[in-house]
Amino acid sequence: MNSSKMLKILFVTPEAVPFVKTGGVADVSGSLPLKLQELGHQVRIIIPKYALVDERRHKIHEVVRLKEEYEEVKGKKIMFSFRSSFLVATKTRVQIYFLDNKDYFANRKGIYTDPKNGKPYSDNDERFILLTKSVFSLILKLGWIPDIIHCNDWQSALIPIYLKTVYKDVPELQNIKTLLTIHNFENQGIFPLDTFDKMELPKELKSEKGLLFDGKINFLKGGLNYTDLINTVSDNYVKELCSDAEVSFGLKNILCKRREDFSGILNGIDTAVWNPEKDKRIPKKYSIKNFEDKQINKKALCERFNFNFDENVPIISIVSRLTESKGIDFLMKGFKELLKVKANFILLGDGEIRYKKFFEEKAKKSNNKFACQIGFDENLAHLVKAGSDMILIPSKYEPCGLNQMYGLMYGTIPIVRKTGGLADTIKNFDEKNFSGNGFVYEKFTMPDMIKTINRAINLFSKRAIWEKLAKTGMKSNFSWANSTHQYVDIYRKLVG
């Protein structure tokens, strides 16, 4: 254990595996805190208790002294409680607090959007104002004063703002520093101007120096102005964000202004969870030594999706949130061409209704060629990784991307567009000198993508080389070890 002072870190996040997941922020939130705690730091997590969070399965219990607290949102007193459980790993466990409020969270089927109409809940601003205020209430009630509040994405981006304004004179909170990690700039928490009146913040924050952006209230922008340090999830994404306003969805200037305080730390993956040798969720465990057993998983995957099993026809999978920036729009437009390729396709994911409808419809009509499963299904995600031959990630932007790393661990070769963290983790395969670990294309165009998929399919028919490439991927090291230390370095820089 490190001899320098151990830190207290409060990790605030909108989602965490295994409790609730819509995207990669959940994977990070379900693993990084454990790794920090394994190093000897004290970590606690806060997330909202959505209806989807299974109380029984996760042994979530009441905490008597954290019951029936009140905070004001929109001028009304809102009652909430914190319930508690643990994020568990073999070596350690981290205490997790669930913000429990019926109207805003527990009684709703969706997480950010209403499943009835696919639209964001109209009071998402109020929901995450409550999360923010509840964080301070929890700290004061527990008397557990963190050195760092580690915020994640727009849902917790208001924390630094409140800390430095409304709560600035509270003695217990004076020394707390904040880090804001942005997992994707696409979602910023943008609301109409009158959201400001629900927040009870000093008037001067209703300005460009505060939360105002483009005539609207922007939670993420406000957080970027107020947090002590900022990071995102790969170096290459940092470069892109600082050079291209489109990648930052408009926030480039503020990032440039804070360039000194802004860094990239590549995500790790939980190698205890994503390991084909130990994976209890797949029909047959395998490793480099019994790589041929991957075929048993391929068979199971074929059965699951009613495909005829054929060792010589590759299965290419896409596991993604269904949004434009993940390249899903693009797949939709080029769907016909995609299906001309000599491979079978599986799509697993959830997101915008228009995509769900389109792909479900196509799956009905493309028997034995294209199948899809709409929804977030972690068990199936494991089978898909184990049973597929390739994983396609056609993103327009990709802050880090985790599926290419999961793919490599399972000997499932990534085909990716060269963007963000994909460019940092996947290098184009070169047969001549056997370098690289996947297939990479640069331009966000259909011909480039199809050409690259065909290149992969061509290599797939050369079994010996393909296997060698797959096994090389399985030996990669994407553990959290390195990145955890980089987070600790940031925390230490903050506490001085």
User: Do 27 and 21 form a contact (C-beta atoms < 8 A)?
Assistant: yes
Task: Identify which of residues 28 and 217 has a Cβ nearer to ligand GLC in the complex.
Answer: 28
Residue showing tokens 């409020």: 101
Task: Give the strand pairing for 93-100 and 76-88.
Answer: antiparallel
Q: Is 247 in the site for ligand GLC (CB under 6 A)?
A: no
Nearer to ligand GLC, 266 or 371 (CB): 266
How far apart (Å, rounded) are the C-alpha atoms in residues 410 and 407?
Answer: 5
Is residue 407 close enough to count as binding ligand GLC by CB under 6 A? no
Q: Which of 14, 21, 23, 437 forms a contact with ligand GLC (CB under 6 A)?
A: 23
Q: Is 381 near ligand GLC (CB under 6 A)?
A: no
- Is 398 a residue that touches ligand GLC (CB under 6 A)? yes
Among positive and negative, which fits the CA dihedral 294, 297, 301, 302? positive
For position 183 contacting ligand GLC by CB under 6 A, the verdict is yes
Report whether 348 contacts 391 (CB < 8 A).
no
Give the one residue of 146, 210, 401, 414 binding ligand GLC; rule: CB under 6 A: 401
Contact 409, 340 (CB under 8 A): no
Cβ proximity to ligand GLC, 184 vs 227, nearer residue? 184
Our finding on whether 399 is near ligand GLC (CB under 6 A) is yes
CB 7 within 8 A of CB 495: yes
Q: Does residue number 402 form part of the binding site for ligand GLC (CB under 6 A)?
A: yes
Q: Which of positions 421-480 make contact with ligand GLC (CB under 6 A)? A: 421
CB within 8 Å of 438: residues ≥ 6 apart: 404, 407, 408, 413, 414, 415, 416, 426, 427, 428, 429, 473
Binding mask 251-280 for ligand GLC (x = CB under 6 A): ----------------x-------------
Select the residue interacting with ligand GLC from 7, 10, 17, 28 (CB under 6 A).
28
Q: Which of 20, 25, 343, 392 binds ligand GLC (CB under 6 A)?
A: 25
- Could you give the 3-state DSSP secondary structure of residue 348? strand
Nearest approach in angstroms of CB 398 to ligand GLC is 5
State the nearest-atom distance from the C-beta of 133 to ligand GLC, in Å: 25
Q: Kindly indicate which of the ranges 18-26, 142-150, 210-218, 308-316 contains the residues binding ligand GLC, using the contact rule CB under 6 A.
A: 18-26
Contact of 19 with 100, CB cutoff 8 Å: no
What is d(CA 467, CA 220) in angstroms, rounded to the nearest whole number?
Answer: 44
User: Does residue 12 contact residue 156 with C-beta atoms inside 8 Å?
Assistant: yes
Applying CB under 6 A, the residues found at the interface with ligand GLC are 23-25, 28, 183-184, 233, 267, 398-402, 421
